[in-house]
């Protein structure tokens, strides 16, 4: 079974994380596959918007727990590979010139919260939540949430969330700036596609140039993180 499902709806690409029996927990295969799919999106000049979501009851429960335990214990044989994939995913997302929209059903935790943070718009179901609980495993918060969340909700609030690993429910996420739209549960994907259609109707170059301006300083910080992780 494919760990990431790719669909093309006109000029919109929809990527769906697909391990529903594990709440879409991101194993190495899923992370590698998603990175390749994102690179494919970046290379396709016919695409005008991207939607990221998860199959079943969750966007994603984050990194596979066994991997997290191994990382905390210093025994993960894939540590370098995971670090490279993480940084390459961040760079690829930040270099996209088309709008990226997250449709968060249920929960987006850890690795998945980082993916959501890298999107231009975030749709959450009314009972959904975000969380980066890496600290609860004895390891640092994810690089994407460290990079982006302080710019969205203030450094002080980001410190509270990332240093505790607590949940941020959809209403709070909307209030503090980690989410742009809250919709009824079950309507996340449809709402995200509707937003994508709105972007498709706008001139592509204006959106691309605006994204470049927003993301330029983040790419500089991502380069610094890459050196630290290497």
Show contacts of 62-66: CB within 8 Å, 24+ apart: 62/25, 62/26, 62/108, 62/109, 62/110, 62/111, 62/112, 62/113, 62/133, 63/25, 63/26, 63/110, 63/111, 64/22, 64/25, 64/26, 64/27, 64/28, 65/25
Q: What is the CATH number of domain 4-229?
A: 3.90.226.10
**Domain limits, the chain:** 4-229
Per-residue confidence band for 96, with pLDDT thresholds at 50, 70 and 90: very high
- The set of residues, in sequence order, having a beta carbon less than 8 Å from that of 121 and lying 6+ positions away, is 99, 100, 101, 102, 180, 181, 192, 195
Q: How far is CA 47 from the centre of its chain?
A: 19
* Residue 150 predicted with pLDDT over 80: yes
- The separation between the first and the last C-alpha atoms of the chain, rounded to the nearest angstrom, is 32
The pLDDT score that the predictor gives to residue 74 is 59
pLDDT (tens digit per residue) in 173-203? 999 999 999 999 999 999 999 999 999 999 9
pTM of the model: 0.94
The pLDDT score that the predictor gives to residue 63 is 81
pLDDT (tens digit per residue) in 109-145? 999 999 999 999 999 999 999 999 999 988 899 999 9
């Amino acid at each position: 079974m494919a760990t990431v499902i790719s669909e093309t709806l006109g000029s919109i690409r929809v990527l769906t994380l697909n391990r529903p029996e594990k709440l879409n927990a991101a194993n190495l295969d899923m992370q590698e596959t998603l990175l390749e799919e994102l690179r494919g999106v970046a290379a396709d000049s016919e695409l005008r918007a991207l939607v990221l979501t998860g199959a079943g009851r969750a966007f994603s429960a984050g990194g596979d727990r066994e991997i997290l335990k191994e990382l905390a214990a210093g025994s993960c044989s894939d540590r370098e590979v995971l670090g490279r994939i993480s940084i390459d995913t961040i760079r690829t997302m930040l270099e996209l010139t088309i709008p990226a929209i997250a449709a968060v059903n249920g929960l987006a935790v850890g690795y998945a919260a980082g993916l959501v943070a890298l999107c231009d718009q975030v749709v959450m179901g009314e009972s959904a939540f975000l969380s980066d609980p890496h600290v609860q495993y004895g390891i640092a918060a994810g690089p994407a949430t460290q990079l982006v969340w302080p710019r969205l909700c203030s450094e002080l609030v980001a410190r509270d969330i990332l240093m505790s690993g607590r949940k941020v429910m959809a209403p709070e996420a909307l209030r503090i700036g980690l989410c742009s739209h809250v919709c009824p549960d079950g309507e996340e994907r449809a709402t995200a596609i509707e937003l994508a259609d709105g972007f498709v109707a706008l001139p592509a170059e204006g959106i691309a140039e605006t994204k470049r301006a927003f993301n330029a300083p983040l790419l500089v910080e991502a380069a610094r993180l890459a050196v630290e992780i290497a």
